Structure 1
Amino acid sequence: MNKHLIALCCLLAQFGSAAAQAQTEDGGLAVQAEQQRIATERQQIEQRFNQEEAACFQKFAVNDCRNESRARRRAELADLRRQEILLNDAERKRKGALQLQRMEQSQAHDSPAPAASAASSEPKPAVRVRTPAAPRQPHDPAQAARAQAERKATLEKKSRANQQEQAARATREATAPDERARYEKKLQEAAAHKEQTRQRNAASKPKAAPLPEPKP
């Protein structure tokens, strides 16, 4: 298995863990580094393909050389695309973990402190004031945990759907050149068959009898 794919799978496992939420900021640097590496490798593949295409025209078997070069390019680009899909999924998980972490911190900050709750329970002198708004409900740890679990499940569901969609698109992009190559090959075979048929018909056509010599 490609070593980069193994590294990306480890990155996915890291961001899928709740214990890794504190490392999401540093994980963003790792994702950016992998994105830069994939872009560089894709550019190198295209440059090498262009050089190989130019060299093929100097060889006797031009079509065979070009077909091999194109097949190698498709395989390498498809491998990079698979890595890119895993990397995008890792980035979504990182952002989702960071969002959950910030929401937890925001909820903890908004929760009333015990001292404030005790002070609010003490009797206060009657004061004529306007009707206050509905009091904030006390913080319920169980309810907050359920809400967090639901948000996490929603994010994971969206992540899986996006990953499946990108995988299907990558498969279509990877197989499209093969479909074109097969279509071109069929056209070439049809043209060759037509030419062979024409040559056979021309060879089997009876020659016209010579004209009789004029009588003296």
Structure 2
Amino acid sequence: MKKIVLALFMALASLPLWAQSNATAGSADLDAEKRRLSAEREAIEKRYVEERAACYKKFAVEDCLRESRTRRRAETDNIKRQETAINDIQRQRSGAAELRKLDEKAGTQRSVDTPEKQQQSIQNQKDREQRAADHAAGRASTAAEAAERERQFQSKQQSHADEQAKAAQRRAEAPEAVRRFEEKQRRAAEHRADRERRNAQQRDKPRGAPLPPPPAEPGPAKP
């Protein structure tokens, strides 16, 4: 366990020192450093294979393998950190070189520009600003048109929803209307049947005996 801690400490401690030395030494041979790290990586892998073979001959195989893996991981991580630092330095140097080239080119261009070119450059800048303003106005107009289309669409959707609601209400009320109509028809039929029954009873009723003739009027009294 102490060996593992010591290996981790040495790996972490070596990175800042290396990065500091390369940051201050602008002429450091980064390619040589990469080759050195590649050789160290190969040596680590070779030692790891040998340690694994030796672990299988020991009693505490798992502990030995775990210690070997931990040591290999720490050393490999240290190499990765150094490679990352090298890549960062190379990118910084490349970016600085490109900036120097651009500055030199811009300085040379400014020194040879004539008043006519300077005026043309100013006019080009104004044209770009005008195009940007026109583009912004076009976007605003497009947004307004889109908003109006959305409003019309929502209005149509609302009208359609209202029509659907009315149709649903009519469908819901239709059975009740049919029931009322059928009830009215039933009552009318019952009324007709009752009237016809009474009429039939009146027709079938026997006629009464004729009334007796009225009594004869008395004649004039004889003297």
Shorter-chain TM-score above 0.5:
no
**Greater relative CO, 1 or 2 (CA 8 Å, sep 6+):** 1
TM-score for both structures, normalised by structure 1: 0.44
Structure having the higher helix fraction is 2
TM-score (norm 2): 0.43
Instruction: Give the greater-gyration-radius structure (CA).
Output: 2
